[in-house]
Structure 1
Amino acid sequence: MGLFGKGWLKSSDDDELRSRKSEIESETDWSSGSILDGDFDGEIEAIDAIDEELNRRAWGRYNSEDHSNESYGIHREHGWYLPNDD
């Protein structure tokens, strides 16, 4: 996979992933080559993989929460998203 394996992504905590992402971004000399020529494919792939894992975890946390008491998206007697009180 490039700079690290997928097993490392799944076993690391969020802070470690963010730290590794910032290390990659700060240690890469982006002016030394061309993104379009593929000079940074490994770095970009690693950053994308970290972002995907962080997003997967965030969505997992969000989907595991109870959102049944939230009132958005409900059609009430006065119309969409409008309160019942007058």
Structure 2
Amino acid sequence: MSAAPRISVTVKVNGRHLPVAQTPAVQWPELLTTIEVADLCRVAPSTVGRWLHEGRLRGQRTLGGHWRIPADQIRALLEGER
């Protein structure tokens, strides 16, 4: 039996190729869907869509055209109501 070929996955960081295990961790913001935001705010998903179009919430669209809203925005919105 021959050993399986060893695959080395690297990422280029600052001009150097580092193994994936040694790359610095990236902190991505937690993103919520419009349905998740609607559940948290106890409103309809269409209301969340309206808030996005009106500029009351900031979000970003995925390649498929769906909205993603940073969770920290929703936390701030909910904490401001209390």
Interval of TM-score (by shorter of Structure 1 and Structure 2): under 0.3
- Bigger fraction of residues in helix: 1
| TM superposition score normalised by structure 2 | 0.24
Higher strand share: 2
TM-score normalized by structure 1? 0.24
